[in-house]
Structure 1
Amino acid sequence: MGASRETILETIQKYVDLVATGSSADVVALYADGATVEDPVGSDVLTTREQIAAFYGALDGLEQEGRLLFARVAGNEAAFSFELVTKAGDQTYTLAPIDVMTFDDDGKITSMRAFWAGEDLIAGP
């Protein structure tokens, strides 16, 4: 049957909010058992909960803001873009990846692939 469009959109919004201001444990809780993460596309695919937790652990303690730019849902899949602004001292770093996710019947993320490259990271004052 699949998760409803509303459930998937809620998970996406939670993901954006938690990546910006939540803990890595909160982000990992959005993932189903056996989920995969490829961020960015072309890097090693993370296949264990421990690998995924370590990946998001790099965000813990950072001063960030995030906002969803757009989302498109089709069946149990979605593509969306969000802007993540990270503050480090007097510098800010802005990244707006396009993420493609699949979801299980409960709206948990079963796979995530993030489309971005180094030149998409914008540094500013």
Structure 2
Amino acid sequence: MPTQEEMKAALQGYVDGFNAGDPAAVAALFADDAVVEDPVGHPRIAGRAAIDEFYANAVAGGAKLSLDGPIRGSHGDRAAMAFTVEVPAMGMRIRAIDVMTFGPDGKIVKMEAHWGPDDIEQ
């Protein structure tokens, strides 16, 4: 199981990769058989090719992430972060909490994005 420091570093790498406009850096944090549910309640995105495409589209939209507080660990294989997504092209802001589950190799195996209609500002 990855350490708290490794999981927190991966989540910081997620934010940094997004903000650098580097979807490959973000997707590289995920296991080949990972699952992304963004937001929770929408169809899941599964597998390397689908995850690569998802992040390529997300980053191409010009979205930027800013943490709303420290990245949080757990006593297990999960870490979470509260953050705000700014999408200037759409004049939109989304407040989200992502919970990532990690595999033994430190790669993300599951990502759950928690945000709903009330968390979007136009």
* TM-score, normalised by the number of residues in structure 1: 0.84
2:40 maps to 41
Compared CA separation, residues 8 and 121, structure 1 to 2 (3 A): same
Give structure 1 stretches of 5+ with no counterpart: none
Query: Which position in structure 2 is the counterpart of 1:16?
Result: 15
Equivalent residue pairs, number:
120
Per the alignment, residue 84 of structure 1 pairs with: 85
Q: Percent identity?
A: 37
Deviation digits for residues 28-70 of structure 1 (CA, Å, limit 9, x no counterpart): 1010121110011011111111111121121233334322223
Residues 51-66 of structure 1 mapped to structure 2, 5 A cutoff: 51-66=50-65
What amino acid is aligned across from residue 78 of structure 1 in structure 2? A
What is the distance in 2 between the residues matched to 1:55 and 1:63?
13
Structure-2 separation of matches of 1:92 and 1:18: 22
| Contact kept? 1:13, 1:68, Cα under 8 Å | no
Counterpart in the other structure of 2:49: 50
Q: RMSD across aligned C-alpha pairs, in angstroms?
A: 1.7
Is the CA contact 2:31–2:48 (under 8 Å) kept in the aligned structure 1? no
TM-score between the two structures when normalised by the length of structure 2:
0.86
Task: State which structure, 1 or 2, has the greater radius of gyration over its C-alpha atoms.
Answer: 1
Give the stretch that moved more between structures: 16-25 or 109-118. Answer: 16-25
Indicate if the aligned counterparts of 1:66 and 1:84 stay in contact, CA closer than 8 A. yes
